[in-house]
Amino acid sequence: MTIEVKVPVLPESVEDATIAAWHKQPGDSIRRDENLVDLETDKVVLEVPAPVDGKVIELRAAEGDTVNSDDVIAVIEEGAVEEDAGDDAPEAAAKEEAQAAAQDEKPAAKTSAPKSDKATDDARPSPSARRVAAEERVDTSGVEGTGRGGRVTKGDVLKALRGGGSRREERVKMSRLRNRIAERMKEAQNTAAILTTFQEVDLKAVMDLRRRHQDEFTRRHGIKLGLMSFFVRACCDALRKFPVVNASIEGDEIVYHDYQDIGIAVSTERGLLVPVIRNAENLGLAELEQAIADYADKAREGSIALEDLQGGTFSVTNGGVFGSLMSTPLLNPPQSAILGMHTIKQRPVVVDGEIVIRPMMYLALSYDHRIIDGKDSVQFLVAVRDALEDPARLLLGL
Tell me if 57 sits within 8 A of 109, measured CB to CB. no
CA distance 340 to 329: 6
CA distance 301 to 270: 10
CA distance 320 to 299: 19
CA distance 304 to 273: 10
- Among candidate residues 310, 312, 308, the one with its CA nearest the CA of residue 331: 312
Residues marked as catalytic: 369, 373
Tell me if 309 sits within 8 A of 273, measured CB to CB. yes
Residue 233: how many other CB atoms lie within 10 Å? 23
Angle between helix 127-136 and helix 154-162 axes, rounded to 10 deg: 30
CA distance 293 to 290: 5
CA distance 96 to 90: 10
Contacts of 295 (CB under 8 A, 6+ apart): 264, 266, 275, 277, 304, 308
Helix (H) or strand (E) holding 188: helix 176-191
Task: Indicate if the alpha-carbon torsion angle 99, 105, 110, 115 is positive or negative.
Answer: positive
**What is the DSSP secondary structure assignment for residue 335, as one 8-state letter?**
B
CA distance 271 to 299: 10
